[in-house]
Amino acid sequence: MTRLRLATRSSDLALAQSRAIAARIESELGLAVELVPLKTSGDRLQDVSLAKVGGKGLFVKELEEALLEGRADIAVHSAKDLPAETPPGLAFVAFPERADPRDALVPREEGATLASLRQGARVGTGSVRRTALLRAHRPDLEIVPLRGNVPTRIAKIESEGLDAVLLACAGLDRLGFADRISERLSPDVLLPAVGQGTLAIEARDGDPKTRVVAKLACERATASARAERAFLAGLAGDCSVPLAAFADVGADGMLHLRALLTSLDGRRVLRQEARVPAAEGEAAGAAAAAAILADGGAALLAELRAADGR
């Protein structure tokens, strides 16, 4: 039996995600899977801002090196951790069905919602996107920066005296923490991150051994991921840039894309929206980025990067 070596981060969430994909490969494709857990730079640097030391790529670099060096055959990533560019020699072979893409409010008081949080409530998040959109929606809130895995962030509600933390619904669902979610926030309030809720399976480009894994691809998830990632690439975005994009394909085959770029304080939000056939989603993502750049986004990006010391 063909055996695939699957590179994964060693965090609880990454292992849960990778085990789910491994189980599908074994049951649906008849291949044996060996997990290759790796600690990434992003996992090791828990006490610094990722934007200052390399951004999103720190969660995928070691996995991609394992692929390029032949120590693994495929890698499973959270698509929201992926940089805009894919290294030469690698390609995404499948985006399986997407989990809940929304952000989740995990509060101290059971049943609390974003609207019901007290004036000046302390809310923890490690995301510049969530920070900026929270400030746009509830400028009275005190935003507390967070790092760490999902259980660590939830524990900080007590240890740091927080009123709530914001996390991804998908991660909480996959780890069995769905009961801690008091509100699944509408994209109208917090537009999701590019790729949030989606897994990406990466392999060496053209490797015949991994071609069969493409059967795990979901057409809707693939169209959405490519549209959102085209927007990310168009803005040359990374984790220091507060941008968001969410695409979904309806039963009629039309893709609805919503995308935005915002200032860190949430006072300037540049938005684009499009409805196109799913096959045109990637072009729509690129067009949304170009429109935002022309509508003041280029100047806003320059300000954001200057503030970040770049």
**CATH number of the structural domain spanning residue 149:** 3.40.190.10
In a domain, 279, yes or no: yes
50 has a pLDDT exceeding 80: no
Domain shared by 84 and 170, yes or no: no
Domain shared by 10 and 93, yes or no: yes
Q: Whose CA is closest to 58, among 35, 33, 78, 31? A: 78
In a domain, 190, yes or no: no
In a domain, 49, yes or no: yes
Element (H, E) at 80: none
Domain shared by 204 and 267, yes or no: no
In a domain, 192, yes or no: no
pTM: 0.93
Which of 45-49, 153-157, 177-181 is the least confident region? 45-49
Q: b vs e for 53-63, b when ≥16 Cβ sit within 10 Å of the residue's Cβ?
A: ebbbbbbbbbb
Active site residue 207: no
Per residue in 227-284, pLDDT tens?
999 999 999 988 889 999 999 999 999 999 999 999 999 999 999 999 999 999 999 9
Q: How many domains does the chain have?
A: 3
Name the CA radius of gyration of the chain, rounded. 19
On whether the CB atoms of residues 274 and 223 are closer than 8 A, the answer is no
On whether the CB atoms of residues 40 and 63 are closer than 8 A, the answer is yes
In a domain, 23, yes or no: yes
Rounded to the nearest 5°, which phi and psi values hold at 303?
Answer: -65, -45
In a domain, 191, yes or no: no
Domain shared by 60 and 79, yes or no: yes
Q: What CATH number is associated with residue 299? A: 3.30.160.40
Domain shared by 88 and 207, yes or no: yes
Q: Using CB atoms within 10 A of its CB, is residue 305 exposed (0-12), middle (13-18) or buried (19+)? A: middle
Domain shared by 141 and 202, yes or no: no
Per residue in 29-43, pLDDT tens?
999 999 999 987 665
Domain shared by 204 and 73, yes or no: yes
Strand order in the sheet with 3-9: 32-38, 3-9, 74-78, 199-204, 90-94
pLDDT at 44: 52
In a domain, 167, yes or no: yes
Kindly give, in sequence order, each residue whose CB lies less than 8 Å from that of residue 252, ignoring residues fewer than 6 positions away: none
Which residues span the domain enclosing 284?
219-305
Domain shared by 84 and 7, yes or no: yes
In a domain, 63, yes or no: yes
Domain shared by 115 and 44, yes or no: no
Domain shared by 210 and 92, yes or no: yes
Element (H, E) at 36: strand 32-38
Domain shared by 35 and 113, yes or no: no
27 has a pLDDT exceeding 50: yes
Domain shared by 67 and 157, yes or no: no
* pLDDT above 70: percentage of residues in the chain: 94
Set 73, 81, 163, 248: catalytic member: 81
Give the mean pLDDT of 135-147: 96
